[in-house]
Amino acid sequence: MKFFKTMVALPLIVAFFAVGCAVRQPIQQAFTPTIFNSDDYVSAIDNFLIILDASSSMDDIYNGNEKFFTAREIVKHLSQTLPELNQNAGLRSFGHSRQVSDKLTVLFYGMEKYTREGLKEKSALITVAGGTSPMHKAMTAAIEDLENFSGKTAVVIISDCQEAVGLESPITLKTARELKNQMGQEICFYPVFVGDDEEGMILMEEIAAIGKCGFVTKADKLMTGIGMGQFVEDIFLTEKPLTEKPIVEAPPPAPEAVPPPEVVKVWVVDETHFDFDKIIIKPAGFEFLDKVVNVLIARPDLFVKIQGHTDSIGTRKYNDTLSMRRAEAVKAYLADKGIDENRISCEGFGFSKPVASNKTDKGRALNRRVELFPVTK
């Protein structure tokens, strides 16, 4: 009788594990890489370092796949898309399972001349996630990785930021600043966020802001050929001019006196100058803010109050923080252009001061804004 029960139960156990294993199988998405002809482009950067999160939280499921599978696919997609243009490259991971390494962080590739096959081959060595998540350890090690390299440098951080949020957040930001101080204006951070945790996204945006020239990208975008192509073109490539004309020296034109733009009651930095739910100023906003800078330089008696506003999507706490951080991003831009910070103050009002209805797309767009009020003291 016991033998009969065992024979009946055994297929059920096998079936249970088979179903469990089937659930964990990754969902393979079709990926057709964007082709960039190396004859048509030059590299916009001299060096890049990928920092890959292989910690235990990356085992969690996001959009039907383990986050670690998504992260490693992004590295693979990058190697399929980015042409070899004499860049220096590296791949460092952190928080791995002991099946991969008993070290907290490992430089699996580089720093060396980038090859597509080299990056793909070395990333395949990071097979599973499963350890702790000391992102700051990887950032500290990156300081040594890059200490002998100069020129424009991109640091791509692929992570869900789960374990780094909280007590480790200040030290993570501290090490990012140390890396920025080492490389100066030449380094930019380009975090790739895997997941949907709000606090993790905020930390990623703070890291990008430290570089003053990078931006955060959602991992979902880079799982498509078009999305990865845009990412590569925005960060890594510069198009060659179509024709090379001989340089003919001409006498410099006579300087013309260009009056600064008039002082208005309020300058509005609207949603066209920020991506939705982001604090990084888009290039479209540079020309607008440069006009504000011209006014403040021409009128040293002027001070400016910067007020950030949002639409009503999201919690009050989140929008209050987002509005203040956008105002501070504008302040940082003005200060970088030479405007004394003592002439600038910031406030964040969240969605408490709408200028239009939050019930329509158009109204919400008008409410997502930063206002600059010139005042005299």
**209 & 299 share domain:** no
Distances (CA, A) of 306 to 139, 233, 282, 375: 33, 33, 18, 11
**127 & 223 share domain:** yes
Residue 336: give its domain's CATH number: 3.30.1330.60
**225 & 360 share domain:** no
Whether 140 contacts 176, CB under 8 Å: no
Nearest to 231 by CA among 78, 53, 50, 25: 78
Angstrom distance (rounded) from CA 369 to CA 362: 13
Q: Which residues contact 76 (CB under 8 A, 6 or more apart)?
A: 120, 123
Q: End of a domain among 239, 257, 284?
A: 239
pLDDT tens digits, residue range 70-117?
A: 999 999 999 999 999 999 999 999 988 889 998 999 999 999 999 999
pLDDT tens digits, residue range 4-46?
A: 444 444 454 444 444 444 445 677 778 999 999 988 999 999 9
pLDDT tens digits, residue range 155-183?
A: 999 999 886 555 568 899 999 999 999 99
Residue 258 counted as domain residue: no
**232 & 288 share domain:** no
Residue 149: give its domain's CATH number: 3.40.50.410
The domain containing residue 345 runs over which residues?
267-376
**271 & 235 share domain:** no
Q: Is the peptide bond before 111 cis (omega within 30 degrees of 0)?
A: yes
**How many domains in the chain?**
2
pLDDT tens digits, residue range 340-370?
A: 999 999 999 999 998 889 898 888 888 888 9
**85 & 196 share domain:** yes
Q: Which two tokens stand for residue 8?
A: 């009946």
Residue 14 counted as domain residue: no
Q: What is the pLDDT of residue 250?
A: 72
